[in-house]
Amino acid sequence: MNLSSALQQLEQQVEIKIAGSVRDIERIAERNQWKVIDAFQTHRVSDYHFASSTGYGYNDRGREVLDEVYATVFGAEAALVRPHFVSGTHTIATALFAVLRPGDELLYITGTPYDTLHKVIGKEGDGTGSLRDFGISYNEVPLTAQDAVDWEAVAAAITKDTKVIGIQRSRGYDWRASFTVDQIGEMVKRIREIRADLIVFVDNCYGEFTELLEPTEVGADLIAGSLIKNPGGGIASTGGYIAGHKAYVELAAQRLTAPGIGGEVGAMLGMTRAMYQGLFLAPTTVGQAVRGSVFAAALFKELGFETSPHWSKPRTDLIQAIRFHAAEHLIAFVQGVQQASAVDAHVVPEPWDMPGYEHPVIMAAGTFIQGGSLELSADAPIREPYTAYMQGGLTYAHAKLGALRALQTMIDRGLLSV
């Protein structure tokens, strides 16, 4: 891959430095792998569960058992796992519309949510079918200067109309640490002390299997995520999941299909085996990606760049943020990641006005699954401060190569010296 000798030497130094963190990551992956296998065994998964269904998909036992396996893995009463979810945003929107009604309020306590959710929340009278279009109000509480939940402001913001508390586990496009499962558990506890009947929803995207527990295991009522991120293991070609209390998951099923139909139908169209196998592979594959994020953090930190989280910090999602000095540095980084891809390495990504985003975005995504964020990818809004968000890598070797190739691209363009 034409890496300079100086860069190869730096690579070896970084590998030595992160060895202790790598051992911790591998242990988490191992324990989560055991947890998934145990769930498969508990529900007696067999090869006949992988059979396809068509039409209405009535009596699809593979689909039903997959829901049960997910519920067990996530420590939830029930789960809804379907290829009919087109993205993480769709899955989150389904969960929110399921439990909110006209006159209710959604309150996010972790600041402004990820860009693609803004159109789901909507504006008054926007006519797009957003939450606000249905008379559901929205409010948010910014994080403190220390990136913690402002509990005094949360208590003041909760009104009689507040029904759902929203928590975004991952950093999104913010320069803040992602929230750990322990922190989310503490949030749930504090919310219950304020008002016990509030529904706590967690956007779990990018977080699955990075820790030993999931938010539903520490009291969250409802979580949602995408199968082309962590839990699909790089195998599931589309889909999403919702897990949590049975009553709320059933409401989500009614929203996904139609009232009175719910989760009893939905042909799997030959995708069931990949969804099972992806879940089986997910803990190990996530561990590979997290290890790659740690390597990238340490590599760029060695060269004086700001990174978040720091390479030595425990991980609770896939995302590694790296801050650059100018737009050309950012663009070179993302284009370098693309050059390390096995798919579309010859393509040169450029910033563009991507639907759902408020600024031009540049994305490197040479992936087998379009938009598959568990695969090596990097993206960034072109706005100050210039921050790239790198995630994924089905293998550590690929994730490491992505970081090195990005750095080499910056060096080749005279933007950096090593």
Closest CA to 392 of 340, 319, 332: 319
Does residue 215 have a cis bond before it (omega within 30 degrees)? no
What is the CATH classification number for the domain harbouring 313? 3.90.1150.60
**Residue 301: predicted pLDDT:** 96
**Residue 81: predicted pLDDT:** 98
Residue 152 burial (10 A CB sphere; 0-12, 13-18, 19+): exposed
The predicted-structure confidence for 102-126, as pLDDT tens digits, reads as follows 999 999 999 999 888 999 999 877 8
**Residue 123: predicted pLDDT:** 84
Q: Is residue 249 domain-shared with residue 353, that is, in the same domain?
A: no
The predicted-structure confidence for 371-407, as pLDDT tens digits, reads as follows 999 999 999 889 989 999 999 999 999 999 999 999 9
| Domain final residue pick, 256, 279, 302 | 279
Q: Is residue 113 domain-shared with residue 176, that is, in the same domain?
A: yes
Q: What is the four-CA torsion angle of 18, 226, 135, 196, rounded to 10 degrees?
A: -60
The predicted-structure confidence for 152-206, as pLDDT tens digits, reads as follows 999 999 999 999 999 999 988 788 899 999 999 999 999 999 999 999 999 999 9
| Domain final residue pick, 279, 296, 316 | 279
- For the chain, helix (H) and strand (E) counts, in that order, are 11, 12
- Which residues form the domain of 100? 44-279
Does residue 283 have a cis bond before it (omega within 30 degrees)? no
Note the pTM of the prediction, 2 decimals. Answer: 0.95
Q: Is residue 246 domain-shared with residue 321, that is, in the same domain?
A: no
**Residue 330: predicted pLDDT:** 95
| Domain final residue pick, 215, 248, 279 | 279
Q: Is residue 148 domain-shared with residue 232, that is, in the same domain?
A: yes
